[in-house]
Structure formats: C-alpha cells, structure tokens
Amino acid sequence: MDYVYGPGRNHLFVPGPVNIPEPVIRAMNRNNEDYRSPAVPALTKTLLEDVKKIFKTTSGTPFLIPTTGTGAWESALTNTLSPGDRIISFLIGQFSLLWIDQQQRLNFNVDVVESDWGQGANLDILAEKLASDNSHSIKAICIVHNETATGVTNNLATVRKLLDDYRHPALLLVDGVSSICALDFRMDEWGVDVALTGSQKALSLPTGMGIVCASPKALEASKTAKSVRVFFDWNDYLKFYKMGTYWPYTPSIQLLYGLRAALDLIFEEGLENVIRRHSRLGTATRLAVEAWGLKNCTQKEEWYSDTVTAVMVPGYVDSSEIVRRAWKRFNLSLGLGLNKVAGKVFRIGHLGNVNELQLLGCLSGVEMVLRDVGYPVKLGSGVAAAAAYLLNNTPLIPSRI
C-alpha cells in the first residue's frame, strides 16, 4: 500500500495549503447556524472591513466567495471584461499558464507575453505594447504577483508606473494568491483594480474561500462588462451588502469564523511584522540552498520570492523522487516541480503561520533526503547557514520581552 500512517505531525512545507494555527482550528470547531440570523451579518461586516487591511486599500470593495483561487480568477475576469476584449497576460510558470488557459476559454483575446520559467514578467514588452496602443484596445493587464511554480515575484509598482507613464486606462488585475498577507502588497498605492487571494495560503486557513477586492474603477467596469456570470456576479453581492444581509447564497460559516481568528492573529503580530517574517524565512531558505551547492530556479535576485523557493537539482537526480521520499520517510511534504520544471525542481514553501524553528526542521529533513537520493550534501550545511542568519535577524516576540 502506497499510503501508510507517518508517526508525529506532518511537516507541511508545500506552498499551499499551509499549516493551520490552533486558534483558527478551534474557531472553526463549531456547529452550523442560520446565516440569516443577526450574528452572521454582524460577523461578515467586520470581516469585510478588516480584509481591506491586508490588501492595503481604503477604497476597495471586498468579496468573500466560497471558492478557490481559480474561482477568484474567474470572478475578476468576468465581472470586468467582455468576450473578445484584448488583455495582456504574462506566462512565467504553471499558475500563470492556468490563468491564461481560463482567459482563453472565457473567450477573451489574450495577448500572451511569455518568459523562460524562472524569469519574471517581461515588462519591456509591456512597455512596447502600451506605447503602440493609441486606440486603447488593451482592456486589462493580468499578472501573477508571485508565481508559485518557480518562486518568482513580479514588480507590480513598475507595472503601474508603465500604465501611468503611457496614460493607459487598462485595468490591472492581479493574482495575489501566494503573496497577499505575506509579501508587500499595496492595492491603492499601486493602482491595482482587482486583487485576489485564497484562504489556504498566507491566511493559513483551509481551502475554500476566494477573497477578491475590487477598486471603484473595476466596479464601474462591471456595470458594462458583458461576460456571463452567475455564481461570481459582484452585483448580487452588492445588492445584499446594501440590504445589510451580505450573502446572496449560503456562506461557509466555519470558514468565516476561521477567517476572523486568522485576521486577529495577523493583526496581533502586525501585518508589517508578518511580511518581515516571511522575508527572513525566504532569505534563510535561499542561504541553505546556496550552502547545499544547489541553484534557485529564480534567475535574478530581484525576482526572489519570500513565500516559496524552487530548488533546482542536478541532472542525475529526479526531484519528484526527493518529494516522494521526503513524505514517505520523514512525513515531510515538499512541493513537486510542475510542467516544464517537473523532475527538475522541488519547492519549499515558507508561507503562512510558520516560524524559524519549524523552517530549520524542514531544511534538516531536506538535507537527509538529498543525501538519501545520492546528492553529496554535507549534513548540517544548509541548516547552519540558515540558523546563523536567523539567529541574528529574528526579533524577540514583543509580548515576551
């Protein structure tokens, strides 16, 4: 039998879904209740106000949709665009590829800008396309902020600057599934028109809630967008917002209480501290990879992700075997290489409610697996490099000073 119970707790270091904190688990451990009672609308109202904080917006309108990131993608597209609309979309890895596939299947005219996997979005080509689009035929720019397959983070501030420099009115739609609430994200400052994330990533919740935030410009576009939408229609939500009942259909009650607990934990730590923690974990992981003599799939430092590191292996090693043995021998879950990088990389997720000591445990496990598959890693080398950095860069927990 392929599956056997592994003693101890599973060490979950895929880039989502991530570990769920105990307070969140306890908050969700409750019975169903009537979502038309006064309690659920009161809870929803506070959630809608507080999720705006993780997007860093005061003017955006959030929607809590019982779906995954894929559904949030569809919500962003169908509420703002019409079939045949020209959009520019960047292909830099598996998840941007999947979003592009969705865009094409929804009958948009997708202008794909492709980069090698491990590179960021080619913004020079974007500049050329914006400069030549005098008729403003481009209706939207679609970009994945953090490409989970390759560990690449794109510079959204530069995208906004290009749109402003060319005075182009295209909407900016951003997949922030593996970035929002972990990486620096500024919806209002960067002029993002639709941003979205998923509950199972940095929020450290179970899968099942897509959180979409729309700017006033996006809401205005939704009034004339002709794409067919039913379940994901923002107008249905807005109607119930005005009524004060908030839900056009049955919400996931337990996830709402979980979201309340997750946001409370984030605000207690401080959002900027959460972002700095992810930066420390990302840096420590990259130092470990360097100490192992391996390379990061991400080709330039400016694109390094602080939520996931894609580690390249030598040609004689199958990265899928690393993932398989990590799980089978040590109850350690690592991310597979996907599509073009299948068998060539494995991924270490370091996002969500995870601390420095947990990461060091993961890195120790990776070292043992690397040795097990025949890669001549010096045991302790990556752990030592990461630990030395973390020792000098991890602050005291404020409440315990």
d(CA 215, CA 218): 5
Q: Annotated binding residues for substrate, as ranges? A: 347
Residues present in the chain in total: 401
Distance of CA 164 to CAs 138, 159, 190, 324, Å? 14, 9, 10, 47
Q: State which amino acid sits at residue 103.
A: Q
For 128, residues 6+ apart whose C-beta sits below 8 A from its C-beta are none
d(CA 388, CA 304): 20
Q: Annotated binding residues, as ranges? A: 347
Tokens of 33: 């209740």
d(CA 218, CA 31): 36
- Alpha helix positions (H), 223-355: 234-243, 253-269, 271-291, 319-330
b (16+ CB within 10 A) / e for 47-57: bbebbbebbbb
What is the Cα gyration radius of the chain? 21
